Amino acid sequence: MERIPILRMGQFLLVTIQIDLYDRLALDLAADLVKTASKTGARGILIDISAVDIVDSFMGRILSNIGAMAKLIAAETVVVGMQPAVAITLVELGLPLNGIHTALNVEKGMALLRSKIAGIAGETDPNND
């Protein structure tokens, strides 16, 4: 069965989605991520979706869910590299993904995660609502 690899890097978990996510795969990914996060005690999850061209409302919800579940086990989630078309679709679908953090690229995403974990609030985080 196809699975999306989850890489562990220090305190963080890295996921790069490079194939079209179908529903089953997305659900598995969410479950795997939470399991791995709790097992390794990871403090942050970084999901790179720069290769994803198409999302639907289900995908949007899964992303939100991952964010919410990670929060429950004290981990922050950052989604990076979203394509403009994907962002427009999500907004048009009424899914602004308020629960998760976003960053332009992996580098900025990692910086954001670090600052979140270091507890530096406010000005280093442009996405702080």
Partner 1 sequence: MATEIIKLLKDKQAIILERWMENQLTPARVREDLISSDDLRADSVALITALVSNLKEKSLNDTDSADFNPITELLGSISFSRAKQGFSPRETGLFIVGLKEVLIAVIQEEVKDPRQLVDLSLKIHRLMDNLLIITFETYIKGREEVILAQTDEIAEISIPVIRVWDGILALPIIGTLDSARTQVIMEALLTEIVESSSDIAILDISGVPTVDSMVAQHLLKTVSATRLLGATCIISGIRPEIAQTIVHLGIDLSSIVTKSTMASALQHAFQLLRLEVYKRTPANASHVKPE
Task: Give me the residues that bind partner 1 (CB under 8 A), please.
Answer: 79-80, 82-84, 86-88, 90-92, 96-97, 101-105, 108-109, 123-124, 126-127, 129
* Buried/exposed 53-84: b ≥16 CB within 10 Å, e otherwise: eebeeebbebbbbbbebbeeeebbbbbbbbee
Q: Give the integer Cα–Cα distance in Å for 67 and 127.
A: 15
> What is the nearest approach in angstroms of partner 1 to the Cβ of residue 56?
15
What tokens appear for 119 in the block? Answer: 């507890």
Identity of the residue, 11 or 83, whose beta carbon is nearer to partner 1 in the bound complex: 83
Identity of the residue, 108 or 114, whose beta carbon is nearer to partner 1 in the bound complex: 108
Identity of the residue, 14 or 79, whose beta carbon is nearer to partner 1 in the bound complex: 79
> What is the nearest approach in angstroms of partner 1 to the Cβ of residue 82?
5
Question: What residues contact 10, with CB distance under 8 A and at least 6 apart?
Answer: none
> What is the nearest approach in angstroms of partner 1 to the Cβ of residue 11?
20
